[in-house]
């Protein structure tokens, strides 16, 4: 995975060089191409370095005005992120976790397709719980080693990481998981589990990727 990420960084830097060279006076010729480069770079930096990293913050600041004269500054931010990622000075734990979560959610979908509603709900619930732990880690929220979804959810909501509406949805998904774990199969159905998996996937994209 790291090699693919490095290749993506390298390609973005090459694309930026090309855009600058094809322009005049250190500017770029086609702003549409640079918009694509910067958007991809911002997404990659957010995933590999975090949205609180200097690279991501600097790139967002440059994007506020998006001046062509800042072309070399854009390139400098991307190169800095690439160099530190290459040398192991960035934390991609959340990015890797998001990839792993997707694998487990795909497994949940497969179980559901095979008619195993309860195991699918239980596995998806495990992904939700672990994602809440990672979200607490991301925001510096401490929690006991042995904790549950609702406790993590309460702490995250109190810290303002997400809205009360999101918190309410998490409680509902936690109930489905608990019913599955305790054999209360009449309390949920295939549609509930399908919607649960889809919601958890969106939640991870919104808050961890």
pLDDT, tens digit (0-9, with 9 covering 90-100), for 8-62: 888 988 888 887 766 555 556 666 777 888 888 888 887 777 777 788 888 888 8
Higher pLDDT pick, 104 / 164: 164
- 143 CA to centre of own chain: 21
What's the mean per-residue pLDDT of the chain? 83
The SS3 assignment for 6 reads helix
pTM for the model stands at 0.55
CB-CB contact of 209 with 95 (8 Å): yes
For the chain, helix, strand, coil in percent to 5 are 75, 0, 25
**Cα torsion 127, 129, 135, 138: sign:** negative
pLDDT in the model for residue 124: 92
Q: In sequence order, what DSSP letters do the residues of 105-153 get, joined into one string?
A: HHHHHHHHHTT-HHHHHHHHHHHHHHHHHHHHHHTT----SS--HHHHH
CB-CB contact of 176 with 102 (8 Å): no
pLDDT, tens digit (0-9, with 9 covering 90-100), for 126-148: 989 989 998 898 888 888 888 88
Contacts of 142 (CB under 8 A, 6+ apart): 136
User: Residue 37's closest CA among 55, 23, 19, 60?
Assistant: 19
């Amino acid at each position: 995975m790291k090699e693919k990420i490095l290749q993506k960084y390298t390609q973005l830097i090459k694309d930026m060089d090309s855009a600058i060279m094809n322009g005049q006076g250190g500017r770029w010729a086609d702003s549409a191409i640079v918009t694509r480069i910067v958007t991809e770079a911002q997404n990659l930096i957010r995933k590999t370095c975090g949205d609180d990293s200097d690279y991501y913050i600097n790139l967002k600041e440059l994007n506020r005005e998006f001046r062509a004269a800042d072309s070399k500054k854009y390139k400098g931010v991307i190169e800095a992120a690439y160099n530190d990622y290459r040398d192991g000075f960035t934390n991609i734990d959340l990015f890797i976790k998001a990839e792993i979560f997707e694998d487990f959610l795909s497994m949940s979908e497969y179980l559901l397709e095979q008619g195993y509603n309860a195991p699918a709900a239980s596995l998806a619930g495990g992904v939700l719980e672990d994602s809440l732990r990672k979200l607490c880690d991301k925001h510096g929220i401490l929690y006991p080693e042995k904790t549950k979804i609702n406790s993590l959810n309460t702490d995250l909501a109190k810290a303002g990481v997400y809205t009360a509406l999101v918190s309410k949805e998490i409680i509902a998904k936690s109930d489905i998981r608990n019913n599955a774990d305790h054999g209360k199969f009449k309390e949920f159905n295939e549609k509930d589990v399908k919607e649960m998996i889809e919601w958890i996937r969106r939640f991870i994209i919104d808050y961890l990727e």
